[in-house]
Chain A
C-alpha cells in the first residue's frame, strides 16, 4: 500500500468529523446490581479536525476528554454517534477493517511507565506494529532505528528494555511506536502531564517538529491550558461530558466566552509574582456524572447562573467561528471585567539567555 499521502488534505472535507458522539457507562448499584445507573461520560460531542491541525480537548478530571479520545479510535465502542475519518464512517467498519484502519489512527498515552511492555525491547516494541500491518518488510531493524532517530534517541537503544529509560525517553519511545505505521491522526492522551517541566518542554517541541515534518493531525487531550495554548490550533473545552466552548486558539484565549472557560483560565497560577488579575474562584466540586444537573450542567458552580440555567439546556451555538453553550454569554462578556493580567514588559535579558537553550537542530527540523 502506497496510498498514504501525508501532505495534501482532501480539499473541503475535514480529516475527522465527530457527530453526536455519546458514551454511557452502566454501573450496577444496589443489591445484586439490580438498580442500573448510568454514567454520562460523553454526551453529544460534535467537532471537526482538519489535516495538519491540532485540536485540544481540555477539561478537568471526569469531564470525558479521555473517553472521547478512545471513542474516536474505537478503543471503546460508542453508545451512539458517528466518527467520519477521511470521508469514511469508522463506526460501520467490521473489527478486522477497523484494525487495518488503525494504521492511520494511533494513540500516545499519558503514563510512559505503564504503556510500554516491560518484557519487550525497544526494537520489539517498534517492530510489532510493522509486522502487524505488513510494513517495511525485510528491513524492520533499519526502520526501528529510523524511528528512534526521528524522536531523538540513538539507535544503540534498540536492544534495551523500558526500565532502562527515564520518563521522557519512554514517552519518546511511545511516540516512535505510534509513528511506526505512518499514521495521519494521533490521539495524544495527556502526553506530557507525567513529565517534569524541562522534559515536558522537550517532548512538546518534538511533537511540534514531527507534526510539521510529517503533516500529522493531533487530538491533544490535556488539562494544562498553558501547554494547550502552545501546541493546539483549536480548543474544545469540556465539562461533564459536553463541549461548552469551541474556538480557534486565538479567540478562545483572548476572549473566553463560557464562564467555565473564564474560570479555568483565571485559576492557572501564573509564573509571574504579583501579576494582577481578577480571579474567578469556582466554589464546590464537579457534580457526579451519574446524575448531572438539569439544564446547563455548569449552573451549580456558575457565578452568573440564573433561573433559566437550571431549566433549559443551552445549545452549543456558533457565532463567528466561536461556539459557546451558554444562555447569557453576551451579557457576561459585556459585564465581565475579565481583563487578563497586566502583561509585564518582556524581559530582554531573560529572552536572550533562554535563546541559548534552543536546540541547535531546531532550524534544521523547521
Chain B
C-alpha cells in the first residue's frame, strides 16, 4: 500500500540572531490513507514545526525546509509553487489548530468564514455553499445550525468553536486532516465530546488524520500508529499497542512514567530529571543522553539511528531493545514502584 503522505529526511531550520537552528532534524514517517498517525512530544520537540512544514506555512524569511521531501499523493510538496500549495491547503489537506479562540476571525460570522472556504475550493454558488455549510455544522453536532451560522465567534463556547473549525476543515472532504493539539485548550468533558466527534467523523469520511499532541491519553484513544519526538528528532515509532506495551526508547518510558495513573496507587512519579536541551546546545550524541538513566559514553558521543526492532517497531537508542532486566542499579530499583 502506498502512503498518502510520505515525509523523508525532513529538516526544517529557523533563522535566529547569529545563525540558524534546526527545529526538525532528519525525520521520516508516513501516513496511510484512512489511518491516524499520532505525533507526541513536549514543547519544543518540533511536532508543530513538522505540521507547518507539511502545510507550507513556515514564516517566509524565517523558517525553511533545509532538506528532505514531503510527498502527498505522489506530489512533492516542497517543490510545489505557492499557487499549487494554496489549491491543496484547506482542500485535500486541511488543518485544525489548538486555539479555537484565535483561529476564527472575530469580525465575520462563522457562516461567512465557512462559505468563503467552501467557495474557494468548489464552484458552488452562494446559496448552495450556505446549504453545504449548514450541513457541515449539523454533522459536527452543532444544535440549530440554521441559526448558528449567522452568529459571530464570540457567541460560541470553546468547544463549539472547535466544532466549527472541524466543520470548516472537513467541508472540502480532505484526504488528510492535520490536527495540532485539537483538544488541549478544552475542558475535559468538552474534550471527550470533540474526541468522540473526531472518531465518528473519521469513520464516516475515511479521512486520514495526523494528530499532534502532548497528551498520551489522547494518543491512546485516537491513534493507530505513533511517532515520539524529542528535541527535533524521532526517537520511537510504533503501533499504538506496541508503544504502550513495549516502549523501547528511554524517553518514552520516562514519559509514560511521568503521567499519574488513575487506576494505580503510586507513591512517586518516575519523573525525567533535567530539561529538554535547547536546539543551540550543540549536543554531540543522543539528545536524550543528559537525562537518561541508562546513558553511557557511546550515547554521549554518537547519535543513534532509528533502528527496526521487528514488527515495524523502531527506536533510536543504542541500548534498544531494552531488556526486561536491564542493568538498573539496585538501590534505585528498591526505591521504585
Contact = CB atoms under 8 A, between A and B. Distances in A.
A31 interface: no
Interface string A308-342: 00000000000000000000000000000000110
A329 B264 CA distance: 26
Max chain B C-beta neighbours (<10 A), residue from A270, A271, A281? A271
A226 B260 contact: yes
Nearest to A282: B189
Max chain B C-beta neighbours (<10 A), residue from A60, A223, A356? A356
B241 A274 contact: yes
Interface string B237-253: 00011001111001001
B321 to A, nearest CB: 10
A359 B273 contact: yes
Interface in B55-100: none
B237 to A, nearest CB: 15
A283 B177 CA distance: 25
Contacts, number: 187
A281 B159 CA distance: 13
A282 B193 contact: yes
Interface string A154-181: 0000000000001111000000000000
B218 A340 contact: no
Contact of B253 (A199, A204, A281, A350): A350
B337 A351 contact: yes
Nearest to A202: B271
A60 to B, nearest CB: 4
Contacts of B322: 353
Contacts of A272: 220, 244
Interface residues of A, number: 62
A114 interface: no
A281 B192 contact: yes
Max chain A C-beta neighbours (<10 A), residue from B240, B250, B268, B275? B268
Contact of B263 (A343, A357, A358): A343
Interface in B20-45: 42-43
B42 A227 contact: no
B262 A265 contact: yes
A200 interface: yes
Interface in A200-229: 200-202, 204-205, 208, 223, 225-227, 229
Interface in A264-308: 264-275, 279, 281-283, 285-286
13 contacts: A196-B43, A199-B42, A202-B273, A223-B188, A282-B189, A283-B193, A341-B262, A343-B263, A352-B326, A354-B336, A358-B268, A358-B270, A362-B335
Closest CB pairs A-B (n = 9): A355-B336, A269-B217, A201-B271, A201-B258, A230-B260, A354-B257, A267-B192, A60-B187, A196-B42
